[in-house]
Structure formats: structure tokens, C-alpha cells
A = this chain, B = another copy of it.
Amino acid sequence: MSWSKDDRESPRGYHHGNLKEALLRAALELIAQKGPAGFTFAEAARWAGVSPAAPYRHFRDRDELLASVALRGFNQFAAALAQAWDDGRPEFFTAFDRLGKAYLEFARAEPAYYSAMFEAAIPLAGNSELREAGDRAFAVLRAAAEKLCAQTPAKARPPALMVALHIWAISHGIASLFGRGDAARRTLPMSPEDLLEAEVLIYLRGLGVSAAT
């Protein structure tokens, strides 16, 4: 984070030049430090070196800034998942494993984004952009679930949508409960990654899909 303490006071004239971006960065940093609840519009402004009223030229209110952070988070999340999944190449299991690890990696590396996305209780209604970004991220899980279902015994093939939701719930459950170092609310007998991998393997076996050893 090269911008973590310096550019906030880079000399500037009356106009900031890139305030919107600066506010998004400041918000992200502040959320990382104090959680979505502790983050303050005024402090983000201070961070950017502008008056407390300036942010209102770029965001309707504090909540819209938070929603913008979440939006950016979903976009990065979708990109990270898509890159990890890589359309299932070179073959399903490796890609699927990468996908799970990427999920946890994102939650751990970007706890601020993750909590803005999933714990800030941002109302989806009236924010189609945000919903669509969330959908794009979910679409990756959905695509993986499709390929997973294809590996399943044709007799009792489950709906891919359901499987995608299951995978999501498992990943989110682990990321949310055990995935962020600071939140370490409980000491675990194994890493979140191992916990997730084991859980997914059991789930896959339940679906009748046997993992490559």
C-alpha cells in the first residue's frame, strides 16, 4: 500500500483532483482498521485533506460511499474468483480447489471489502449495479457448480443452482467465522483452508463425485 500515509497530504490547490478515488481508498483503509461501523465520513475527508462537506460532491451520503466500496469489492471478488476458476482449466479438480482457496484468500487479504460486501447490511433494493456485481461473482460459483454437476452420476443429478448455493454457503461460513485473522474468535485445530478443503471433499463425495487423488 504505497498510499497508506503519504499521498493524503500531497500538496494540492483548491481542487483535489481525484477526490472520489481518494475517498474510496480512505474508506477502505478505515474499514480495514475499525470495521464498517467505525468508519466515518468525516475521517475519510480528513484523510483526503478536504473539508467534511466535500465528500458530498461525490457521494449522496455515507451509505453511498459504503455501497461504492462494496461494489468495488464485488468487482474485484468476481475477478479473483474468475481468474482462479479459469473456466475449469486445466481440469476440474485443480480449478475447483483453486476457486475455494481464492475465496478464502480474498476474505483474508481484503477483510474491508469482504465485510462491506457481506456484513454492512447494504440494502440491495435500488442499487442494481451492486446487485449485478454480486451476481457476476456468484456466476463464477454457478459455472463451477455446473461443471461439478456434470461429473455427478446422471441418475440423481442435483440442480446446479442448488449446488452453487451450497458451495457459497460453505465458503462464506468458513470465511466469515474463521477466515479473518483479526476476528480470530476461536482457535482452530486446522487452517481455514484445510477446513474448507476437507468440507468440500466430503460434500463432493456425498454428491457421488470422487476427487482425483
Write the residues of chain A forming the contact surface with B, with a CB cutoff of 8 angstroms.
Answer: 35-37, 115, 118-121, 124, 131, 134, 138, 158-159, 161-162, 165-166, 168-174, 176-178, 183, 185-186, 188-190, 195, 198-199, 201-207
Contacts and interface: CB of A to CB of B under 8 A. Distances in A.
Contacts of A118: 176-177
Interface of A is mostly: helix
Contacts of A174: 169, 173
B35 A121 contact: yes
Q: Which of A120, A170, A207 has the most CB of B within 10 A?
A: A170
A35 B174 CA distance: 23
Contacts of A159: 189
B162 A37 contact: no
Contacts of A206: 201-207
Contacts of A195: 162, 165-166, 169
A159 B202 CA distance: 13
9 contacts: A37-B121, A121-B183, A134-B185, A158-B202, A161-B189, A169-B174, A170-B199, A201-B206, A205-B205
Contact of A162 (B176, B177, B189): B189
Contacts of A198: 158, 162, 166
Nearest to A122: B185
Contacts of A119: 119, 121
A54 to B, nearest CB: 23
